[in-house]
Structure 1
Amino acid sequence: MRLLPRSIRARVTMVFAVGAAVVLSLCLALLYVTLDDQLTSALDSDMATRSGDLSAALGAGDAGVVARDPLAQLYAADGSLVAGSPSLGQRRLLTEEGVRGVQGGRPTTVSVSLDGGAVPSVVRLLPRRLDSGQVLAVGVSAEPLEAARERLLLVLLLAAPLLIGLLATAGWLVVRAALRPVDVLTREAAAISSVEADRRLPTVPGDDEVARLARTLDDMLGRLRVAFARERAFVDDASHELRSPIAVLRGEIELALSALDEPAEVERSLIAALGESERLSLLAEDLLLLARERAGSLIVRREPIDLLDLARVESRRLEPVLGLRIEVRGEPVTVQGDADRMRQVLANLLQNSAAAGSRTVRVDVVRSAQTATLHVADDGPGFPPGVVEAAFERFVRGDTARTPGTSGAGLGLAIVRAIVAAHGGTVQARNGDPLGGAVVTAHLPLS
């Protein structure tokens, strides 16, 4: 069973109405108590004035002043009635025990039958002991006070629901006005689809929470739009890169099948098909590595690696294969990492330089206070101006003179960045010294 409504507007209004009801009830109760105290104090003040006047008259020897008062009685010290108002007759305001117990003048409330009535009336009574030892009791009917209390209570009971209803309605209107931009944003966000990638959320004026939320959501949509465009371009490029070797592979296989009676032609077609299959395998491995890096699941082993020794070994292995002259300089620096992955970094950078037409590559290993730096510089044409900033993005290519990637797919430098990042390092690209071509710098934390 759901106790709270689903709509936040209704929930806020309900909470506001309940809170307003509690606060309003407390305020009305305080008002009732305050007004009742004021009315009672007015009666007591009137009785105190009359009691003082009667006491002064009795002290002056005017014995008949009590009989002229609308509601008063004078008692002897033993409790016997001495004089009283005609409206009381022989009915007493105080009993004999009450007369003997009077010490100070404190107002009390009693029930007395006035003017011979059978129904007792509520009387507010102020007893007072005189200097002569007698007791003077002055009273006033509390019926008007009781009637005023009942009318006040009735008015408050009728006004409270009306006021609570008005406050709840006002709260509903205020909340609806405050959340109207949220409804607009919700409908607009629901209407935006991948087809409408350039569509933006409406602008909410002001600088309140809703306006900041609208701007934040719009900025988030902008970032998602960029990410979606990159992913779509990645899928398009990957499809294009996969289509070419698959088409070649299929053509070579068809050619081999059509030339079964020519062993030399079949062998040539199968060798070409094997080369394309290796290219497909390398491309699939590169895509899988990048996918793992994006998902944060690229696993690298952690073992001590001497970067200088690794660079020398890898350079000697690739120098004759790539036709490069590779110079390795620096000092021994040990880092914690995956030796196979770091070899892949060097291989990608060296093959990238060879593909760009470089003749000489210089590898420098430098140690600093907290990092080990690997510089790979070549004497090639360098990165085109429009490629330097995005050289490590997937499927980024320059011109025909420089194709960043081992397979020509534009994944080589993207893999370099992924592997270096998995080791907790950073990588940058630039053009210039020391050989005037491209320079790739990788920073790795020391062991």
Structure 2
Amino acid sequence: MRRLIPASLRARLALVFGVGTSMVVLLALSLLYLVLDHQLDAAVDQDLAARSDDLVAAVRTHDLGAVHGDPMAQLYGPDGTPIATAAAIRGRVLLTPTQVRAVHRTTFGDGTLPPRDTGGPMPLRLLSRPVGDSGQVLTVALPLSAIDRAGSRQLIVLAIATPLLIIALAALGRQLLRAALRPVGELTRQAAAISTLDPDRRLPEVPGDDEFARLAATLNGMLSRLSVAFQRERAFVDDASHELRTPIAVLRGEIDLALAAADDPAEVRESLIAAQGQVVRLGRLAEDLLLLARERAGTLVVLRTPVDLTDLAQSEASTLSRITSLTIEAYGDPAPVDADPGRLRQVLGNLAANSAAAGATTARVTVTTDRNQARLEWADNGPGFPPGLLDSAFERFVRGDAARSATGGAGLGLSIVRAIVTGHDGTVELRNGPPLGGAVVTVRLPAGRPGTPTPEHRDPPGPHSP
């Protein structure tokens, strides 16, 4: 069955159009034939009725010559015997006496004319009616052979016209389908020609405002988005390769030095310590990239437990002050949230590393709440974000000035901050200005249910890439 159905959409539409058109044409012409046949019968009956009226009027004036001159008429007496007969059927009767006596009103019917010496009975269309109160009956007739010939001619004409009309409509439908689907073929060829080597290439615009024009515009919009995503992914791969190249080169150099100084334990130890630092840097970069990849894939694991955001900020501020060059103060009222304490500490650690890399000396954490959300604001007294960086600071491998780059960070800190906050169904915003005149990062998280937060398990703080 599937082999009988064309694979091409154009062929399927043409098939459906052809079959549908054929059925409609056949139905329409069949109805036309029935209407014409009915009209022909009605015309015959009208002719019989007109002749009957004329003959009845003549009979009432005792003019039987009108009956003799009619093509096919007969006047009967009350007993059913013919009184006057048309010359063309002299010697034969249209009705039997029993049929004559059964006529009480104007009646149409079909009958036959008895045969002559040669030939068979002739089919007739009859109209019989009483003539006044005299008991006489007048019958007029018309041979059905003429009607049958007219019907046959109509049928022959329709039989010839039907296939020609179907073929003409099918050809017209094919041309219409070809013209209508031409933009689809062009879009298909152009789309097949687009490759990753020319991501800026677009599909041709389809004139008008129909479905195909909107499809072309939609596909071009999709290609634009894919091009942007492709460029971002390519930039990400380039940046990741650049970040990995330096520690790997240093690690290789230190290993070579250790192998060259195998007889000098102090030199070997110094090289291994330096190599260990590069391994830590590589591990940190791999963990950050893995976190961002999981966030993008929607598989970032966030363990939600009741946490007091103010308590966590105050305890983490004390820890971060000891391991960074920042003086960090934390303020706020109790702010319960359902969140992952370890991830939130990672957010604060990345913000502290980012501020320290920018040259800030003081940072302030302020926590406020309302009925729907908890708000954590991190502010420092550094130079703030460069004006051109505010819109792209959350992108991966984005750095600010040379001071930030000199710290050796990979530019993933704020990307990780946004990933973690988004994983908590929150939002994060950047700006410069009050309260300390430098960078300001505002984190908003859904407020948790009031209650006693679970005791925090404080992991040893670790550095995070800015």
Q: Is TM (by shorter chain) over 0.5?
A: yes
Residue 341, structure 1, aligned to residue 338, structure 2: no
Alignment partners' CA distance in 2, 1:101 and 1:63? 23
Any unmatched runs of 5+ in structure 2?
449-466
1:197-212 counterparts in 2 under 5 A? 197-212=199-214
Deviation at 1:264, TM superposition (A): 1.2
Does structure 2 retain, via aligned residues, the 8 Å contact 1:87–1:114?
no
Alignment partners' CA distance in 2, 1:337 and 1:391? 24
Which residue of the partner structure matches residue 421 of structure 1?
422
Which residue of the partner structure matches residue 248 of structure 1?
250
Which residue of the partner structure matches residue 127 of structure 1?
128
Which residue of the partner structure matches residue 412 of structure 1?
413
State the SS of the aligned residue for 1:293: helix
Alignment partners' CA distance in 1, 2:403 and 2:370? 35
1:116-195 counterparts in 2 under 5 A? 117-131=118-132, 132-195=134-197
Deviation at 1:74, TM superposition (A): 1.6
Alignment partners' CA distance in 2, 1:439 and 1:401? 18
State the SS of the aligned residue for 2:329: strand
Deviation string, structure 1 residues 181-201 (Cα, Å, up to 9, x no partner) = 111111011001100112121
Residue 324, structure 1, aligned to residue 326, structure 2: yes
State the SS of the aligned residue for 1:210: helix
Does structure 2 retain, via aligned residues, the 8 Å contact 1:429–1:439?
yes
Which residue of the partner structure matches residue 13 of structure 1?
14
Does structure 1 retain, via aligned residues, the 8 Å contact 2:6–2:12?
yes
Deviation at 1:407, TM superposition (A): 6.0
Deviation string, structure 1 residues 160-191 (Cα, Å, up to 9, x no partner) = 11111111111111111111111111101100
Which residue of the partner structure matches residue 96 of structure 2?
95
Does structure 1 retain, via aligned residues, the 8 Å contact 2:81–2:97?
yes
1:174-323 counterparts in 2 under 5 A? 174-323=176-325
Alignment partners' CA distance in 2, 1:179 and 1:101? 70
Q: Percent identity?
A: 57
Cα separation, partners in 2 of 1:407 and 1:330, compared to 1, 3 Å: farther
Deviation string, structure 1 residues 209-237 (Cα, Å, up to 9, x no partner) = 11111111111101100000000000111
Deviation string, structure 1 residues 289-330 (Cα, Å, up to 9, x no partner) = 111111111121121111101111111111110021101111
Deviation at 1:115, TM superposition (A): 6.3
Which residue of the partner structure matches residue 56 of structure 1?
57
Name whichever of 132-141 and 115-124 sits farther off.
115-124
Alignment partners' CA distance in 1, 2:420 and 2:369? 20
TM-score, with structure 2 as normaliser = 0.92
Q: CA RMSD in A?
A: 1.6
Equivalent residues, number: 446
State the SS of the aligned residue for 1:175: helix
Deviation at 1:443, TM superposition (A): 1.1
Question: Which letter does structure 1 place at the counterpart of 2:225?
Answer: R
State the SS of the aligned residue for 1:219: helix
Cα separation, partners in 2 of 1:101 and 1:50, compared to 1, 3 Å: same
State the SS of the aligned residue for 2:257: helix
Residue 433, structure 1, aligned to residue 401, structure 2: no
Runs of 4+ in 1 over 3 A off after TM superposition: 113-117
Does structure 1 retain, via aligned residues, the 8 Å contact 2:191–2:203?
yes
